[in-house]
Amino acid sequence: MPLQSVKLSIKLIFWLFLFGSTLNHSLAEPPVLGKLYVGKASADITPELPVALMGQFYLRIAEQVDTPLLANVLAISTLEQEKEISSVIFVACDLIFVPDILREELVTALKGAAPEIDSNRVILTATHTHTAPVLEDDPERSSFIYPIPKEEVVPVKAYRELFVRQVVPAIKEAYANMQPAKVSWATQRTAIGHNRRVSYADGTTQMYGNAAKDNFRELEGYEDHDLQSLFFWNAKGELIAICALVACPAQVLEHLSSVNADYWHHVREKAKAKFGEQVLVLGWIGASGDLSPRPIYRKKASERMLKLSGYTLEEAIAEKVVSTLSTSLETVKKDTYESLALAHSLVPLSLTKRKIKEDEYLEAKTNVENLEKEMSEKPETTANLYARKTWNASVVERYKEQQAGSQNGFESFMHIVRLGDIAICTNQFELFTDYGIQIQARSPALQTFVIQVAGSGSYLPTITAIDRGGYSAVIQSSVVGAEGGQELVNETVNRINAFWDGE
Amino acid sequence: MNNPLITTVLSCFLYSSFAFGQSAPLAIGWANVDITPDKPVLLAGQFYARVSEGVMDPITATALAISTRNDGGAEENIIMISVDVVGISDGMRDGANLRDATRKLVIEALPELSPEKIIINATHTHAAPLVASLKPIEEIYGFPMEQLSPDKEVMPPADYLEELSETLAKAAIEAWQNKKPSGISFGLSHAVVGRNRLQAKNEGNSTMYGNTNDPNFSHIEGYEDHALNLIFTWNKEEELKGILINIPAPSQVSEHSFELSADFWHETRIRIKKEFGEQVHLFPQVSAAGDLSPHVMIDGKAEERMQRLMGWEELGTGRNSMAQRHQIANRITEGIASIFPVMQKNIDFAPVVLHQAKVLELPRRLLGEEDVKTAQQEAKEWGEKYQAVKDLLIDDPEMIHNPRWYRDATTSFSRMRRGTVVEERYELEKTNPTLPVEIHALRIGEIAMVTNPFELYLDYGMRMKARSPAVQTFVAQLTGAGSYLPTRRSIAGGAYGAVPASTLIGPEGGDMLVEESLNLIHTLFDKNE
């Protein structure tokens, strides 16, 4: 998925709006033992039709809903003598990402509807499905704008309103129905994500490149095959919720022109069948900016196995996820915690921006001109080319800012949560696997859940990827480069360390 | 072949027998033998010597005989043997040749077979007897056997090698004689077992088994492959008789053990038999995995907790633990079980079986004067340490009765030798720039299997699989003596496994191996498609 480039001035206003009164919140609250309470709810965020879908350069208008889209909400708090010590609310959404404008609108509505809830503690995450609605239409705030017909298609703003209308009550419900609970955590190794960056003998990389070429040399990066999970039980001992982190974006069906929650729909259905109708599944995506669910090589063998098993790829992934969760559940169900430390911090970040080289600027500028010319000469190509034009145009704008001497950092944020022995950290990026691995390797927590795309999505490639190029590593794909990536890792680790200070 | 260099340097012996088209019914036979020595032996796999101190679990060998008559009348007969040892000596080094000794014995008993039809691979357990050298022990470890083991008689490697070749031949003959009409099915599943063991630092250099909990840790150097390539064999009543498991993970969880062990294959055999029946044979193969090992590089604490909660605490948990072996056995078994119903329904009783073997003349990794100087320096430093222990022995000859007294001393000697060998290779390359290497390609129906003698870095195997015309391609490493074959990126990183002292062949040879392996596979597929 392409980046979201947000104009600094607008973004600063947003940050003041969102965090201005609560910057102290970024200071790590001490992890204090408390009794665990958990509440859950689910919001149906399936759009009205027809609706424009986000995730490809070309415009797709969905006129069909294959599966519902959900935003599943889990409210967690710890209490001591009936007084809340800490709390956090996770909202796992079947969306491509969570743009700033969507968050702003949700926060505004939530503050009005439920002032008792600290909106800074609401953590919105996305599964990165490419078959969910377009969420942004303001060219001042996004680099990826589609030429959506104004009349026949559900307006982008109308979908955001639906999202807010559905999710705010769910957050309220989950927060209100928190009950005493127990939790445990697990990790199991299972192979799901595939590195999609194919490197060749000449030192270049191509995303989804052809590995069957003679000059194929290696897959550029690593994969993370830990399937990490959290299990929650109510006071009666019934399993009520599972948070599952898979380092693989939900984009098996990324080219469809219908509404679809991708493999998470099947995970939810199979989990209900296996663990009970009452079980709510929150799907989290681990750092996997360079991964996808589709195999890059060994395709014939994989396709044959799917054919023989009668599964689609998304069903096969779901089967693997639920089977792994089942093993995890059996393993950890006797190691549960009802009194534990919960702590949360919301950390504003200012990351070094990736410097745009002159040739990159010139190439983007030429691309814009060529695309404008083509669309002018052949208006019928606009649906396919327009987003590509805005994608390139954002580089031109960024370069102008850079040349004007604007050296401000890229404003971002992350949530850090400690829950017992585990850490959960978020970031807004399509974060390349290596960064997630670094965070996990250096974290003092027993397990560290690195959740990506918990904000406006944008690739954050490694230095190797930037050197080798290819979509997802080119300048159009990322505002933050390897330097900023390392800053993100270091700051995440520092903030996690603060929650384990002295242990 | 696109590369003119490859064309010019290649000289090969090509021996093949195949015919194309539909085949007559397949016949398959299995045999399994215990190869655990009944006396102490020297264990192979570490720089330091290890005189075995008992048996943790039996080491075994499994033979799989395959025979068919292809359309056109030509017979195709193959015997594959999987052995719980670190490598299969093949005459390339130090005079030992387990492969040819075994072949000779089999051919004497089964003249209808030719030597190249017998393919022997190692599981790479690091807790099995040394079969790589016939040299005197003092030349291998720097001290005579009487000093390494003054109180216990140790079976010399040459004796064990002879005994092993006889046992392997016996297994091969038994498998051959056990052949019955059979079918096969094949499938792809997944099990996370092998982990890339090379850590790249921010400065660009890599280390094997480095610390990932370090601000300088940048990334894991290479890729991992968690595929479980499987072949199931069935009798005519469609009862499962055996499973060939090809997995990119050498069996070296217990690599520091002083007791004999088949490593995680032992637990896997037990789990498989429990799950699928006592009659089921298991044939392990290691896919290209020179840069992989079963050791966990990240999240070790979390994995250890899971092992504890799974009930293996008393066995020991964490790195090098029995719990890890059980965990791996579980993953492999679950991976097999997940596709088993589909495999039961897709049995082919008359697949085409074709085989070709070839001896490649691979270009040696060219060493420079700097490589020699570095190695000489290392050899000098280790030599001084070795000599210090030798001097100590003169003052205190009784120290040889201390348990494992020789561990550090033999490490020093081995590392000294490692350095001096670089110099020897440098001289050798001037007159002998290539190394003969035997590879095999086997087609069974839609499957291709291709072998090599190396600890082949994963990327090479991936290239073969990505470009192979087969529906599913099995790459089997260590069908010979074994030597790391690193990639360019790994040589740039400079970790153990990629340095000159660890490698006979470099990326140029690796590229040629890929091309030649694919060429061989194509000869088995293209004309028949």
DSSP string, B451-471: E-SSEE-HHHHHHHHHH-SSS
State yes or no: pLDDT of A458 exceeds 80. Answer: yes
Q: Coil, helix or strand for B481?
A: coil
CA-CA distance, A53 to B400, in Å (whole number)? Answer: 76
* Nearest residue in A to B328, CA atom: A189
DSSP label at residue A473: T
What band does B334 get if pLDDT is binned at 50, 70 and 90? very high
Distance from the Cα of A469 to chain B's closest Cα (Å) equals 17
**pLDDT tens digits, one per residue of A330-340:** 999 999 999 99
Distance from the Cα of A332 to chain B's closest Cα (Å) equals 6
| CB atoms A297 and B196 under 8 Å | no
Q: Is A19 on the interface with B (CB under 8 A)?
A: no
What band does A22 get if pLDDT is binned at 50, 70 and 90? very low
Q: Which two tokens stand for residue A311?
A: 């599964």
Residues paired with A26 in a beta bridge: none
* Nearest residue in B to A432, CA atom: B219
Count Cβ–Cβ pairs < 8 Å, chain A vs chain B. Answer: 132
What band does A21 get if pLDDT is binned at 50, 70 and 90? very low
| CB atoms A335 and B190 under 8 Å | no
What band does B297 get if pLDDT is binned at 50, 70 and 90? very high
CA-based nearest residue to B469, from A216, A301, A307 = A301
- Among A214, A222, A438, beta carbon nearest to B223: A222
Residues paired with A448 in a beta bridge: A423
Distance from the Cα of A432 to chain B's closest Cα (Å) equals 11
CB B491 within 8 A of CB B510: no
- Residues of B in Cβ contact (< 8 Å) with A335: 309
Distance from the Cα of A394 to chain B's closest Cα (Å) equals 30
- Residues of B in Cβ contact (< 8 Å) with A191: 190-192, 226-227
pLDDT of residue A140: 87
More confident residue, A405 or A336: A336
* Nearest residue in B to A333, CA atom: B309
Distance from the Cα of A479 to chain B's closest Cα (Å) equals 21
Q: What is the mean pLDDT of residues A21-31?
A: 56
Distance from the Cα of B28 to chain A's closest Cα (Å) equals 24
- Residues of B in Cβ contact (< 8 Å) with A214: 2, 467
State yes or no: pLDDT of A447 exceeds 50. Answer: yes
* Nearest residue in A to B226, CA atom: A191
Distance from the Cα of B320 to chain A's closest Cα (Å) equals 18
Distance from the Cα of A26 to chain B's closest Cα (Å) equals 23
State yes or no: pLDDT of A14 exceeds 80. Answer: no
Picking from A206, A214, A467 by the largest number of B CB atoms within 10 A of its own CB, the best residue to mutate is A214
| CB atoms B305 and A191 under 8 Å | no
pLDDT of residue B528: 53
Within 10 angstroms of residue A17's Cβ, the number of other Cβ atoms is 13
Q: Is A189 on the interface with B (CB under 8 A)?
A: yes
What band does A299 get if pLDDT is binned at 50, 70 and 90? very high
pLDDT of residue A484: 98
Residues paired with A207 in a beta bridge: A197
Q: Which two tokens stand for residue B448?
A: 């291709």
Picking from B195, B198, B219, B475 by the largest number of A CB atoms within 10 A of its own CB, the best residue to mutate is B219
pLDDT of residue A407: 65
- Among B309, B463, B488, beta carbon nearest to A331: B309
What band does A503 get if pLDDT is binned at 50, 70 and 90? confident
Within 10 angstroms of residue A298's Cβ, the number of other Cβ atoms is 22
| CB atoms A447 and B302 under 8 Å | yes
- Residues of B in Cβ contact (< 8 Å) with A438: 217-219
| CB atoms B466 and A334 under 8 Å | no
| CB atoms A298 and B188 under 8 Å | yes
Return residues 194-223 of A near B (CB < 8 Å).
195, 211-214, 216-219, 221-223
| CB atoms B190 and A226 under 8 Å | no
Distance from the Cα of B353 to chain A's closest Cα (Å) equals 19
pLDDT of residue B221: 96
Kindly state the percentage of chain A with pLDDT values over 70: 94
pLDDT of residue A31: 83
Q: Is A447 on the interface with B (CB under 8 A)?
A: yes
pLDDT of residue A502: 77
Identify the weakest region by mean pLDDT among A86-95, B353-362, B417-426. B417-426
CA-based nearest residue to B157, from B173, B170, B172, B141 = B141
Identify the weakest region by mean pLDDT among A400-414, A487-501, B386-400, B451-465. A400-414
pLDDT of residue B15: 35
| CB atoms A216 and B342 under 8 Å | no
Phi-psi region of B141 (alpha: psi -120 to 50; beta: other; left: phi over 0): alpha
| CB atoms A440 and B298 under 8 Å | yes
State yes or no: pLDDT of B487 exceeds 50. Answer: yes
CB B148 within 8 A of CB B137: yes
| CB atoms A446 and B346 under 8 Å | no
Q: What is the mean pLDDT of residues A322-330?
A: 97
Q: What is the mean pLDDT of residues A450-464?
A: 96
pLDDT of residue B7: 34
Q: Which two tokens stand for residue B483?
A: 């030597």
State yes or no: pLDDT of A482 exceeds 80. Answer: yes
Identify the weakest region by mean pLDDT among A19-33, A301-315, B352-366. A19-33
- Residues of A in Cβ contact (< 8 Å) with B473: 298, 301
Q: In what order do the strands lie in the sheet with B206-208?
A: B206-208, B198-201, B217-220
- Among B192, B302, B466, beta carbon nearest to A446: B302
- Among B220, B338, B471, beta carbon nearest to A437: B220
Distance from the Cα of A320 to chain B's closest Cα (Å) equals 9
pLDDT of residue A29: 75
pLDDT of residue B251: 98
| CB atoms A305 and B471 under 8 Å | no
- Residues of A in Cβ contact (< 8 Å) with B197: none
| CB atoms A225 and B226 under 8 Å | yes
Domain residue extents for chain B = 4-363+435-528, 369-431
Give the CA-trace dihedral at A268, A270, A271, A272, to 10 degrees: 90
**pLDDT tens digits, one per residue of A379-397:** 999 999 999 999 999 999 9
| CB atoms A222 and B219 under 8 Å | yes
State yes or no: pLDDT of A24 exceeds 60. Answer: no
Residues paired with A228 in a beta bridge: A187, A245
Residues paired with B109 in a beta bridge: none
| CB atoms B465 and A298 under 8 Å | yes
DSSP label at residue B42: B
pLDDT of residue A408: 83
Picking from A195, A199, A304 by the largest number of B CB atoms within 10 A of its own CB, the best residue to mutate is A304
Give pairs for A327-330: CB < 8 Å, separation 24+: A327/A188, A327/B334, A328/A186, A328/A187, A328/A188, A328/A227, A328/A229, A328/A231, A328/B306, A329/A186, A329/A229, A329/A231, A329/A239, A329/A242, A329/A275
Q: What is the mean pLDDT of residues A473-500?
A: 97
For A44, residues 6+ apart whose C-beta sits below 8 A from its C-beta are A68, A69, A70, A166
| CB atoms A434 and B306 under 8 Å | no
pLDDT of residue A23: 41
* Nearest residue in B to A490, CA atom: B215
Within 10 angstroms of residue B428's Cβ, the number of other Cβ atoms is 14
Kindly state the percentage of chain B with pLDDT values over 90: 90
pLDDT of residue A52: 98
**pLDDT tens digits, one per residue of A129-188:** 999 999 999 988 899 999 999 988 999 999 999 999 999 999 999 999 999 999 999 999
| CB atoms A219 and B223 under 8 Å | yes
| CB atoms A332 and B309 under 8 Å | yes
pLDDT of residue B363: 96
Q: Coil, helix or strand for A314?
A: helix
Domain residue extents for chain A = 8-353+408-498
State yes or no: pLDDT of A81 exceeds 50. Answer: yes
pLDDT of residue A1: 43
- Residues of A in Cβ contact (< 8 Å) with B472: 298, 300-301, 304
- Residues of B in Cβ contact (< 8 Å) with A497: none
**pLDDT tens digits, one per residue of B230-240:** 999 999 999 99
